[in-house]
Structure 1
């Protein structure tokens, strides 16, 4: 392949979501030419899939400054700074207008299937760093195409690869066979068809983060609404219950996130959900009447449910990056320099230090994983963290190392404790000393169901 001079090539950005579009805006602001490859037909297709969910960040926290600068000449006006958008609001009122301004710098219907060095597979050393990247993608009509790039910024996120129900990280036995009764998304109970699926039925919710809280609160609201009688949730937690289970509450500097945790606690305390703790799902079985029975690794068998909502986080799709030399943490699948800052086995409260090009670099110079993709399997990513990442990378690409290494972001403290690494040893939380990480207070919540078959 006869490649043009690398400096003449575009910076390819994978994904037209919030961070991918922010990356394009920062590149334009720096005088660099981006080419955004988006598998979907619109901006923010993943965000649109949870359009009914309200963010716990305000408009002021989810609009990137460089993007706002790019939008300003069009007459675009940022929505009320202190208001909380839904995913749909975010996509329609911000992401799509930004994509429209970027125009033909975005190529829709382009699903990236591979990234490598031109003429060099993963093994070859010779002249590797002088070769441009080759990005292969497939169009909606099945054509395979390639584009050369000087740099690749992967902002494809992790939405397409949710975690399974199985406690081992693998799908539970029978999970795939029960796919017709399992959802990996927070249900939109305003949709009549979706509402009918859960109304008056018993649903297992597996997970302990904000998405699980949202599902519990939504199901509790349905139980109290017309036609919702009999709606009930069984909340499955792989860890125990402690003072940190419901998040930071009033101490959370993202008030809407704290309020969400408190609402989830109210749903449980109000009897709309039962909590089952220390339960790692081994299998999903069908009962004689077609309902689903969750079987734990310890042999416990829970009462049958009609539906299961699995909200166990996400994991990055690294398959199309296999020919690149990436340095990823063996546990989190995040860049090795970033992983210690976000590892839930070590960090259970406070802030994640703002970070940029230094923490996101790899042995393969010129490739960056950003946004949710950069966090690997770690939770609690914030959009403004991603905006800071791409600001730093864009500065570095123009040789402005001072700006690349300058911190331009102050994150709100979470007030959340109880990292995922502590769920087997709840008493270990007390070893962190005072502050928000002091020993947890045990909570008595709801009415725990008696497991059957024990």
Structure 2
């Protein structure tokens, strides 16, 4: 069936707008938490997941350990759904790997009777709009259903919804390697030399890095995590060398402050600092990358400027740990209010600005800060932070709790936000062998769990 052959969707007069489900985009931790919170309030949901199972993005970095112990990783409403089954809660103080988060939490949650039939797998939302309205039409907008266009294989279908929560994350849209925010012009010629953030250096991707020179690009904790893995590999595989390129004059965000209530998050900075001090990692600061050029022996030259001078670094592999950005293409017909710099909701942006805040200093927030000019449309989870790398999973759970209360009509509860985050000076992360992802939705951010 082609798009032009799709039937016209209408809401029969006998059905109110509120009889339609809330559409949730993404079946990661925050998306499933949103579903659990809404169902607990008697609001129906449908969940669209682009992957073949829940937590697809988490599985991509499943070899990585989180900062946060289990006690911070299970949403309260989701936990109540699981408590109705024979699920055994993991030890509260244990630090799980990404794969554990999927196998021990997300998969059992998705299998609960309340959620199992509401999740649509291999379903990519390509567009969100209003039924019969583009973004320019205003009359009757708030009482008109949302219309989502979903691609499943070669088939495109449409779904009506009373509200939309976009919890699709940012893992599939990394920032460009070039300092101007774009992909290098010769990226296509060097694609075999480029790795996504958080490669499995000691496991599935070992052959790509063993005995090679790797340049890690980025000043956050995905970069720091990869540096630790590479250092561990270098002890086992001769000829393995490591360089680390950052745009700033100091890697303070990766080093951290040494004052962190999440012990695993607090260890990483000191470990990376020691690697640099011991000469096991060559730090190249103030490096503004312009392009990539293939050179002999299947290597790549990373070219740019350092302190006003032209510079080139040759490497066998380049790890792009420069962070992530939201994919806004599917929201072209939605009225968004986004900050011009970090691409987060405008009211939220000053609370999460990475120039001012770390993970533990982000102020509690909820539906008020997440609202857009489009009624009943919300971006939640890592995607709500735009390009800011300060997201914590606990923050996402509080976001969707607040949104659920708002959509259920409990507006006072929606605005009563209580969230205490673990303290930190400048965010930091895990150990060489255990390592740490940043968030289950977006490992490029600075914060875990």
* Alignment match, 2:116: 103
Q: 1:71 to 1:270 in 2, by over 3 A?
A: same
Find the partner of 1:220 among 231, 234, 237: 231
* Alignment match, 2:19: 8
Please give the secondary structure, in 2, of the residue aligned with 1:224. helix
TM-score, normalized by length of structure 2?
0.89
CA deviation string 1:118-156 (max 9, x = no partner): 01011112211110101110112x111011000000000
On the 8 A contact 1:253/1:415 being kept in 2, the answer is no
Please identify, of 39-48 and 393-402, the stretch whose mean Cα deviation from structure 2 is larger.
393-402
Matched, 1:182 2:194: yes
* Alignment match, 2:3: none
* Alignment match, 2:141: 128
CA deviation string 1:88-140 (max 9, x = no partner): 00011001111111111111111001010101011112211110101110112
CA deviation string 1:157-182 (max 9, x = no partner): 00000111100001123223211110
On the 8 A contact 1:158/1:373 being kept in 2, the answer is yes
Pairwise CA distance, 1:309? 0.3
* Alignment match, 2:324: 314
* Alignment match, 2:275: 267
| C-alpha RMSD of matched pairs (Å) | 1.5
Matched, 1:352 2:365: no
* Alignment match, 2:379: 369
Please give the secondary structure, in 1, of the residue aligned with 2:368. helix
On the 8 A contact 1:183/1:308 being kept in 2, the answer is yes
Q: 1:149 to 1:237 in 2, by over 3 A?
A: same
On the 8 A contact 2:54/2:102 being kept in 1, the answer is yes
On the 8 A contact 1:223/1:230 being kept in 2, the answer is yes
Give the number of the structure with larger relative contact order, counting CA–CA contacts within 8 Å between residues 6 or more apart.
Answer: 2
Find the partner of 1:113 among 123, 126, 151: 126
CA distance in 1 between counterparts of 2:252 and 2:377 reads 41
Q: 1:54 to 1:350 in 2, by over 3 A?
A: closer
Please give the secondary structure, in 2, of the residue aligned with 1:27. helix
Pairwise CA distance, 1:405? 1.3
CA distance in 2 between counterparts of 1:89 and 1:245 reads 25
Matched, 1:17 2:43: no
CA distance in 2 between counterparts of 1:288 and 1:60 reads 50
CA deviation string 1:407-426 (max 9, x = no partner): 232011221079xxxxxxxx
Please give the secondary structure, in 2, of the residue aligned with 1:216. helix
How many residue pairs were aligned?
413
Pairing 1:78-93 to 2, within 5 Å after superposition: 78-93=89-104
CA distance in 1 between counterparts of 2:315 and 2:359 reads 34
Please give the secondary structure, in 2, of the residue aligned with 1:134. strand
Please give the secondary structure, in 1, of the residue aligned with 2:126. strand
Pairwise CA distance, 1:264? 1.5
On the 8 A contact 2:129/2:146 being kept in 1, the answer is yes
* Alignment match, 1:237: 246
Please identify, of 351-360 and 254-263, the stretch whose mean Cα deviation from structure 2 is larger.
254-263
CA distance in 2 between counterparts of 1:146 and 1:243 reads 47
Pairwise CA distance, 1:347? 2.9
CA distance in 2 between counterparts of 1:303 and 1:125 reads 54
* Alignment match, 2:163: 151
